[in-house]
Structure 1
Amino acid sequence: MIKMTLFLILLFSDSHAKTFYQDHARGWHWYEKLPIPEEPKPQEKDRKKPLTPGEKMKAYREELENRLAQAWINPTSQNVSRYQEMQQDMMNRSQTFSQTWMKNVFSNAGLDHTLIAPVNQKAVHVYLDQQKEEKQQVIQSLSQSHGLFFFYASNCSYCHQFAPIVKFFADQYGWEVLAISLDGGPIDLFPNAVPDNGLASQWNVTALPSLFAVNPEKEDVIQVAQGMTSIDEMENRIMVLTRGNK
């Protein structure tokens, strides 16, 4: 029994001694620290995507509104200061944006709107003269495809006051005018006026005087005036309403 015990002790000692000498670089293996397991890396889907510029701007506005609301509901010095600080930051950003905008305009003629619509006083006069000349040419050319239908009543004082304006416009631009009387009575300057045959109701004439620009070929009917108006207003309305309908 003693021999067996000694044999086991020697066997055990020899086994560990051999392990130590064969792998002496590691030392006693039962004394080694166990490796710390690495934390699992977050899954790709768990990672937050960076905010887009639009999302950042939205978040900025929301934070500014929240600070304002907090300062208004509970106007402590701290709450008001937090809002003032962010508002100042917003103003600084706006100023930087504005300065960069102007630098781009000054360095790129294609972005300078003042070259199209100048603000210099002398340049403005030249620009307005050019605009007026172009407008007159366009309205003159429209006389080839359009005519004016002038609705009036002989007992309408506004109609009699408006008739010379219509006549002057027609003579200046070469437009033909068909005067239509709703009560069958005459009007100065338009001796060839005709009585209404139901056209006023069809075109929903509800106020006098009324003036329409008509393109018979395309059957385009555009109301130019309802009530008295000036020649300038007539010109502008015809330019806008007939654009693309020539």
Structure 2
Amino acid sequence: MGHRRSWSISAAVVALAFGAFGAASAQAPSQEQTYCGRDLGQWFYCDRPAPPEQPEERSENSPLRSMRAPEIAELEQFQKELEEARNIATWRPSPETVETYYRLQQVALDKGGMFADYYRRLVWTNPELDYTVKRPVVEVAKHGWTDDRLADRDLFLRNVSDKVGLFYVYRGSCGPCTIASPIVKSFGDRFGMSVSAISADGAPNQHFPSARRDQGQLQQWGVRQMTPALLFFQSSDVDPRTGEVRPRRVRGANGQMMELLPCRKREGCLTYAGAGVMSLEDIAERLFVLLSKEPGTDF
């Protein structure tokens, strides 16, 4: 019954539309009535379609082309000439072709030298742009900066050793592991940081008598097959009651404050620190950067 009623309503609408169309067609259609390509009648509406947008032609005098810096065009033309001269001199070497290429190359070198001179003058006269103020490269200043950094690093690692621990992965059949094992052991002793050794093949380790056999955790952690490998675990900084992050701050050698980058996971954070034989200083530097430096602030 519902389908019949729906059909009858539709038929009535169609009949009404055709009736209106027939009445309107008796009159001469105006331009406004027929701009959609047919006589619309009084019951139909049609918006006049907007003309399709034509792509703007970029003539030599167009605004888009005039916005382009002339130096760019000059550089592109010069690069083209330099490349062509190089190819010609390489393929048809002669005193003339080689000299042509050499003279063009000399222009490029002169331009580069001028840029370098302006660059260093800018840095010298604007200390806020001088990266060497932050990280000295001059030998006499570099020693002082290095000493301060090492002192800060050691203070930091000792003060966060209760929140950070190492996982050392080795194999009994791994030659480099025999070199790395005592180094990792010395690192843990120096900074008071716990080290848990995991044997990937079940072999014992004289430096880590309590080493544990891999029970599938290495695959779960995504540890690669290469050994020796180091990972560090950081306990969560999220308050279990409030959900707030509680950062750990450490005072450096010169009184400035350093902050342990917080672990925002309630279960703690496990980070891959690298593989292969690393010196004690390299391990300390990696952990110091990964635990205390935001990307881009210590490079």
Short-chain TM bin: 0.5 to 0.7
Q: Specify whether residues 54 and 137 from structure 1 end up closer, same or farther in structure 2 by C-alpha distance, changes over 3 A only.
A: farther
Report what 2:287 is aligned to: 238
Amino acid at match of 1:174: G
Report what 1:139 is aligned to: 157
What displacement does 1:239 show?
3.5
Does structure 1 residue 211 correspond to structure 2 residue 225? no
What displacement does 1:147 show?
1.1
Q: Specify whether residues 57 and 172 from structure 1 end up closer, same or farther in structure 2 by C-alpha distance, changes over 3 A only.
A: same
Q: Deviations over 1:54-106 (max 9, x none)?
A: 33322221121122223333445444443333222222222222222222222
What is the DSSP-based 3-state SS (H/G/I as helix, E as strand, rest coil) of the residue aligned with 1:166? helix
Structure-1 separation of matches of 2:127 and 2:274: 39
130, 144, 152: which one aligns with 1:126: 144
Does structure 1 residue 71 correspond to structure 2 residue 89? yes
Amino acid at match of 1:125: H
Amino acid at match of 1:237: R
Pick the structure with greater CA Rg: 1
- Structure 1: tracts of 5 or more residues without a match: 1-43
Aligned residue runs from structure 1 range 26-45, under 5 A:
none
Structure-2 separation of matches of 1:101 and 1:182: 53
Structure-1 separation of matches of 2:133 and 2:117: 19
Q: Specify whether residues 236 and 55 from structure 1 end up closer, same or farther in structure 2 by C-alpha distance, changes over 3 A only.
A: farther
Amino acid at match of 2:89: A
Does structure 1 residue 60 correspond to structure 2 residue 60? no
Structure-1 separation of matches of 2:174 and 2:59: 78
% same residue: 28
What displacement does 1:233 show?
2.0
Contact kept, 8 Å, 1:184 with 1:195, in 2: the verdict is yes
Structure-1 separation of matches of 2:278 and 2:106: 49
What displacement does 1:213 show?
0.7
Structure-2 separation of matches of 1:157 and 1:76: 57
Structure-2 separation of matches of 1:227 and 1:210: 6
Report what 2:239 is aligned to: none
Structure-2 separation of matches of 1:190 and 1:76: 70
Report what 1:12 is aligned to: none
What displacement does 1:176 show?
1.6
What displacement does 1:194 show?
3.3
What displacement does 1:222 show?
2.3
Structure-1 separation of matches of 2:154 and 2:102: 55
Q: Deviations over 1:3-31 (max 9, x none)?
A: xxxxxxxxxxxxxxxxxxxxxxxxxxxxx
What is the DSSP-based 3-state SS (H/G/I as helix, E as strand, rest coil) of the residue aligned with 1:103? helix
Give the superposed CA RMSD. Answer: 3.2
Structure-2 separation of matches of 1:81 and 1:189: 67
TM-score by length of 2: 0.56
